C-alpha cells in the first residue's frame, strides 16, 4: 500500500539520441526498433503513478488506462523511460492514429519500455545500460499494455536494411556500457529510414548563392508541410523553372516569403524525406509532374 507523503520521485528530462546517417557497427552497441509515438516517462512512488511527456507535462489523466497497468507492476518505486504508441493492423506503431487513440481509444495505447532510471529507492542511472535493461525486462509481464523493447539480433547494417524494407521509421543504437544522462547524447544514436511521397508544389524559393527549395503542401488540403532541396539535374531544373513560370500564381494566404515564386495548383512533386515525421525533414525533390 502506498502512503501519501512518503517517497516522492521527480520527472527526469530524457536522454536524447543523436541523429546519424548510418548505424554504428561493432559489438559495443545494441540496436532497438525506433517507435513512432510519444516519448514518455512513468514515475511510480508512494503517492501512486504519474506519466509525463518528453517535456515533463503530467499527462496521467490522458493515459489513465496505462497508469492502471503501471500500478500493477511489482515495484515499490520506479522511473521507466519509454514510448507511448498505438498499433496499426500490421502491428506497427502509427503516429497518425496516436492522437485520436489518446482521446477516443485509450484502451488501445501501449507503453514500450526501454530504460529504467530508478527502482525501489535506488538510482540506477550510473549502471551500464545492459544491466538497467536486464532489471527492467524482469519487471515487465508478458502480454500487457506495458511491453519491453527487445534488442534486435544481428549486425547493424542488416538490421537497418530489414527495418527500411519493412517500411518502419528507423532504429536506435545504444552503447552497452552507457550511463543515463539527461539531454543530447552520442551514447544513443538514431538512424531513420527514408520514404518517397507526392506533395503539391506551392512554389520555388531561389536566391543567388543559396540552395534552391521547393515548398510543398499536403495533397488535397493545402497544408504547408515544409521545404525540399531541389537536387534535380540541369535538364530537369530548367524544365521545372519553365513550368513554374507557366503556372505563376499568388502566394497562399498567410505565407510571406519574398524570394519565392509561387505557383497555381497543378504541379505535383515527388519528395524523398525522413519516414515518421509529421512534416518534411531532410527532404529533397526527386521529380515532378503536372496533375491530371
pLDDT digits over 244-264, tens only? 999 888 888 888 888 889 999
Does pLDDT of 141 surpass 60?
Answer: yes
Specify if 3 maps to a domain.
no
> Which of 192, 212, 231 is the last residue before a domain boundary?
192
* pLDDT-above-70 percentage for the chain: 98
Q: What is the DSSP letter of 196?
A: E
Beta-ladder partners of 271: 197, 285
| Residues 207 and 183 grouped into a single domain | no
* Residue 144 predicted with pLDDT over 70: yes
Q: What is the pLDDT of residue 251?
A: 85
7 occurs within a structural domain = no
Average pLDDT, integer, range 18-43: 94
Task: Please state the domain count of the chain.
Answer: 2
Q: What is the pLDDT of residue 76?
A: 95
User: So what's the pLDDT on residue 93?
Assistant: 82
pLDDT for res 179: 98
Q: What is the largest CA-CA distance in the chain?
A: 73
Q: What is the pLDDT of residues 189-223, one digit of tens each?
A: 999 888 889 999 999 998 888 889 999 999 988 89
Q: What is the mean pLDDT of residues 106-110?
A: 93
| Interstrand relation of 170-175 and 194-205 (parallel, antiparallel or unpaired) | unpaired
With contact defined as beta carbons under 8 Å apart, do 273 and 228 qualify?
yes
Where does the pLDDT of residue 291 fall: very low under 50, low under 70, confident under 90, or very high at 90 and above? confident
Let me know if 117 is exposed, middle or buried by CB neighbors in 10 A (0-12, 13-18, 19+).
Answer: buried
Residue linked to cell 549486425: 155
What CATH number did the domain enclosing 111 receive?
3.30.470.30
pTM of this structure: 0.77
Of 115-129, 174-188, 217-231, 268-282, the poorest mean pLDDT is in: 268-282
Domain span at residue 266 reads 194-290
Task: Indicate the helix (H) or strand (E) that contains 18.
Answer: strand 15-20
Please, which residues bridge with residue 184 across strands?
A: 16
- Predicted local distance difference test score (pLDDT) of residue 65: 95
Q: How confident is the model at residue 156 (pLDDT cuts 50, 70, 90)?
A: very high
Picking from 192, 214, 231, the residue at the C-terminal end of a domain is: 192
Query: Do residue 147 and residue 256 come from a single domain?
Result: no
Q: Note whether residue 10 is domain-resident.
A: no
* SS3 of residue 98 by DSSP: helix
Confidence at 2, pLDDT banded by 50, 70, 90: low
Is 2 a member of any domain? Answer: no
Instruction: Check whether residue 70 and residue 176 sit in a common domain.
Output: yes
Amino acid at each position: 500500500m502506498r502512503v501519501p507523503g512518503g517517497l516522492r520521485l521527480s520527472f527526469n528530462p530524457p536522454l536524447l539520441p543523436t541523429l546519424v546517417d548510418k548505424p554504428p557497427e561493432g559489438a559495443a552497441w545494441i540496436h532497438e526498433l525506433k517507435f513512432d509515438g510519444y516519448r514518455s516517462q512513468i514515475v511510480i512512488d508512494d503517492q501512486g503513478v504519474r506519466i509525463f511527456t518528453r517535456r515533463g507535462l503530467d499527462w496521467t489523466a490522458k493515459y489513465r488506462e496505462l497508469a492502471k497497468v503501471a500500478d500493477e507492476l511489482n515495484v515499490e518505486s520506479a522511473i521507466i523511460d519509454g514510448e507511448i504508441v498505438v498499433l496499426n493492423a500490421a502491428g506497427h506503431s502509427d503516429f497518425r492514429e496516436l492522437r485520436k487513440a489518446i482521446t477516443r481509444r485509450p484502451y488501445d495505447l501501449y507503453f514500450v519500455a526501454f530504460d529504467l532510471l530508478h527502482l525501489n529507492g535506488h538510482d540506477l542511472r550510473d549502471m551500464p545500460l545492459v544491466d538497467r535493461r536486464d532489471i527492467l525486462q524482469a519487471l515487465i509481464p508478458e502480454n500487457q499494455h506495458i511491453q519491453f523493447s527487445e534488442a534486435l539480433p544481428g549486425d547493424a547494417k542488416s538490421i537497418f536494411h530489414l527495418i527500411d524494407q519493412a517500411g518502419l521509421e528507423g532504429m536506435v543504437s545504444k552503447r552497452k556500457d552507457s550511463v543515463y544522462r539527461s539531454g543530447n547524447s552520442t551514447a544513443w544514436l538514431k538512424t531513420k529510414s527514408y520514404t518517397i511521397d507526392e506533395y503539391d508544389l506551392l512554389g520555388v524559393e531561389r536566391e543567388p548563392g543559396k540552395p534552391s527549395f521547393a515548398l510543398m503542401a499536403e495533397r488535397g488540403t493545402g497544408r504547408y508541410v515544409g521545404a525540399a532541396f531541389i537536387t534535380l539535374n540541369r535538364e530537369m531544373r530548367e524544365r521545372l523553372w519553365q513550368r513554374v513560370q507557366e503556372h505563376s500564381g499568388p502566394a497562399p494566404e498567410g505565407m510571406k516569403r519574398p524570394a519565392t515564386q509561387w505557383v497555381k495548383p497543378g504541379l505535383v512533386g515527388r519528395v524523398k524525406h525522413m519516414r515518421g515525421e509529421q512534416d518534411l525533414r531532410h527532404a529533397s525533390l526527386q521529380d515532378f509532374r503536372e496533375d491530371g
